[in-house]
Amino acid sequence: MITETGFPYDINLFKSQLKEAIEKELISPQEYEELTEEDFDSQQDLQVWLEELLSELP
C-alpha cells in the first residue's frame, strides 16, 4: 500500500480494478475519451492500450 497523498493509494487495488475493467470490457472508448481526451477507434484498440498500461504498473 502506498501511504503518500495522491492517487492511487493502494496500487494493488487499482491494478485489480483495472484488470476487472479490462476483462469485462467495462470502459468504452467513448467513456475513456471523455475522461482522458484520448481517442480510440475501437474497443479492441482501447483494450490493448489498457493491457499495456496494466503491464507497466509496478
C-alpha cell recorded at residue 11: 496500487
Is the pLDDT at 4 greater than 60, yes or no?
no
pLDDT value of position 44: 97
Whose CA is closest to 55, among 6, 22, 26?
Answer: 22
Give the HSE-up count for residue 27: Cα atoms under 13 Å, Cβ half-sphere: 24
Q: pLDDT at position 11, please?
A: 86
pLDDT the model gives residue 9:
74
Lowest-confidence range among 3-7, 22-26, 52-56?
A: 3-7
How many of the other CB atoms lie within 10 Å of CB of 36?
A: 9
Q: Which pLDDT score, from 0 to 100, does residue 34 have? A: 96
Query: Which of 38, 2, 32 lies closest to 18 in space, CA to CA?
Result: 32
pLDDT digits 0-9 by tens, 14-30: 899 999 999 999 999 99
